[in-house]
Amino acid sequence: MALIVWKDAMSVGNDALDDDHIVVASLINHIDDAKQSGTDEHAVGRILRVLVDHAFTHFAREEALLEQRGYPRLAEHKREHRLVEEQLQELCQAYARTADPELSREIMQILYFWLVEHIMKVDMHYKSFLDPELASDDEHQTSSRS
């Protein structure tokens, strides 16, 4: 799995939310390093728990901020978060029963996909809403003014 290097193009225009995304990226990289250097699965599992907890905390923080600002596509955005949460919860429960290295890899892959795809596509939708000056998407500039 390729390492994730956070860059300005990934910024959603809010420091707290960017910080969360950076922490998630760093933890994914950390687990990837641990796995590649043959770290035992118990240690991998501990880092994974921190990563999943942080992802869930981030969803809540992001949703609270978007709600506070009256983001019009919040329901849709929440549904995306719930889908990832359900997948993660199911895999984490299985992993808690059996610390199978394949399961931890699968959990990481979901988070990797979420970080790369969800941030770049779904989170970017609210960037222009939070700050129209950062907008690159006319549709959301319009909705933020209405």
Q: Which residues bind Fe ion (CB under 5 A)?
A: 62, 123
Choice between 47 and 118, CB closer to Fe ion? 118
Q: Is 45 in contact with 103 (CB distance < 8 Å)? A: no
Helix ranges restricted to H, 1-146: 15-36, 41-68, 74-97, 101-113, 124-130, 138-145
User: Which of 19/40 has CB closer to Fe ion?
Assistant: 19
Query: Is the separation of the CB atoms in 128 and 113 below 8 Å?
Result: no
Cβ proximity to Fe ion: between 32 and 62 the closer is 62
Q: List the one residue out of 76, 72, 62 whose CA is nearest residue 18.
A: 62
Measured from each CB, the residue nearest to Fe ion is 123
**Please, what is the minimum distance in Å from the beta carbon of residue 45 to Fe ion?**
24
Q: What minimum distance in Å lies between the beta carbon of 17 and Fe ion?
A: 6
Q: What is the DSSP letter of 115?
A: I
| CB of 43 vs Fe ion, minimal distance in Å | 27
Q: Considering the complex, what minimum distance in angstroms separates the CB of residue 59 from Fe ion?
A: 7
User: Closest Cα partner for 12 from 115, 119, 140, 132?
Assistant: 119
Q: Which is nearer to Fe ion, 18 or 106 (CB)?
A: 18
Tokens of 41: 């699965």
